[in-house]
Structure 1
Amino acid sequence: MTPKDIAEKAGAIMWGNDDASKWFGMELTEIDAGRAVMTLTVQPHHCNGHKICHGGVIFALADSAFAFACNSGNQNTVAQHNLINFLAPGREGDVLTAVAEELYLKGRGGIYDIHVENQDGVRIAEMRGMSRAIPGTLFEEESE
């Protein structure tokens, strides 16, 4: 299997089990080795008392993209530490896109940058995620 094939199969398995991302209304729109793209259309129930997208919703979108990117190699991986900076508000009706990209992967640790933009290219948030591999895989790879 190519790295892209592995990423697509791992992503499909994760998506099948990811009730939280589906509950938020997210969509996995792209996956490749060390990279994932997810989108979310901001609905009224995503907005806080200021009538802007709740920071927790933006974080969840970035975190989900991060999860798919860091599991794209078929090694069970979880978040060890995340830091997010909110740069602009998301508004009801916005289509937010989170792009997660692997910067570094060695041993059990990885570093990923995730940026969230709206449909106009306005940067909403930047997140840095540190991952930690744990035992197991999403699927058993066939030996050649």
Structure 2
Amino acid sequence: MNHIIVLYIMYILITVTLTVWVAHTLFKNGKVFLIDIFHGNATLADAVNNLLWVGFYLINIGYAVYTLRVVNEVDSARLVIEILSVKIGLIILILGCMHFLNMFIFFRLRKRALIDKRENDLYDYSKMNA
């Protein structure tokens, strides 16, 4: 088997494994945030969480497949490792950016949900005292 095939196989295996692990972690732990954001509506939180999960896979696996091509000749194990490290490093950076983007969005949505809840509580309190 030549070096380019080894590179492609290793790249796909590592990329898919990383993507699945990060997606699973975000899916499992993000549900708590979404339930809070949607004021305890677990059905809506599950639906949004599933949509985020699918989108995450589509973007990351799509990008990994898109960047699979190697234009240089790969004729040594050293080149396999060097090219693989650049490609995997880029995927890890993208996964990290997507993770922080998700966290930023969750915290913004949670902050807004808390403000809405506080306003609703004040409205309910003023209605009771009227």
- Scaled by the length of structure 2, the TM-score of the pair is 0.30
Larger radius of gyration: 2
Instruction: Return the structure number with greater helix share.
Output: 2
Instruction: Return the structure number with greater strand share.
Output: 1
For CA contacts below 8 A with separation 6 or more, give which structure has more relative contact order.
Answer: 2
